[in-house]
Amino acid sequence: MMGKFPRSKQIGASGKSVSATTYIAVGISGAVQHLQGIKACRHVIAINCDPGAPIIKRADLTVVGDAEEVMQALIARVGQARAQSETPEGQV
Ligand SMILES: Cc1cc2nc3c(=O)[nH]c(=O)nc-3n(C[C@H](O)[C@H](O)[C@H](O)COP(=O)(O)OP(=O)(O)OC[C@H]3O[C@@H](n4cnc5c(N)ncnc54)[C@H](O)[C@@H]3O)c2cc1C
């Protein structure tokens, strides 16, 4: 974490525990201290460029790739899906 996150923003042994239905770990290695904070999460999706990262053992779904590229693609797909759902029937 390179000292960028204060304790109040950390998830894990020295930060908060979260209980999300789906937790998306973007560029998170999956250190034991971090895993402690996501024990209660039902589903974990990992986005990581290292197929050997420990988070992958905890994840239900893993996308191996560059986080920025994957997130941009995901945001674009969500935008498309939203635009389609907002288009009135019969219009393109
Ligand atoms: C007493 C103690 C308490 C601690 N408490 C906590 C705590 O509460 N919470 C916590 O999180 N940590 C805690 N830590 C630190 C912990 O041991 C790890 O050092 C820390 O979790 C690593 O953070 P990270 O996974 O974000 O970073 P890194 O270990 O640097 O891992 C980065 C990950 O991102 C991947 N990655 C890098 N670039 C990209 C990219 N472009 N696209 C996709 N993937 C990429 C890498 O493959 C790697 O898996 C504690 C440590 C100690 C000693």
Give the pLDDT score at 64. Answer: 98
Out of 18, 33, 38, 57, mutate this one to test ligand 1's pocket (max ligand atoms within 8 Å of CB): namely 33
The boundaries of the domain holding residue 56 are: 11-66
Ligand 1 cavity residues, CB under 6 Å = 1, 10-15, 27-29, 31, 33-34, 37, 47-50, 53, 66-67
Is residue 51 included in any domain, yes or no? yes
One digit per residue, the tens of pLDDT, for the chain of length 92 reads 567 778 888 999 999 999 999 999 999 999 999 999 999 999 999 999 999 999 999 999 999 999 999 999 999 999 999 999 987 776 65
Residue 69's contacts (CB-CB under 8 Å, 6 or more residues apart) are none
Is residue 16 included in any domain, yes or no? yes
Is residue 39 included in any domain, yes or no? yes
Calculate how far, in angstroms, residue 22's C-alpha sits from the geometric centre of ligand 1. 19
Is residue 48 included in any domain, yes or no? yes
CATH of the domain at 24: 3.40.50.1220
66-92: pLDDT as tens digits? 999 999 999 999 999 999 998 777 665
Using CA of residue 7, residue 12, residue 17, residue 23, what is the dihedral sign? positive
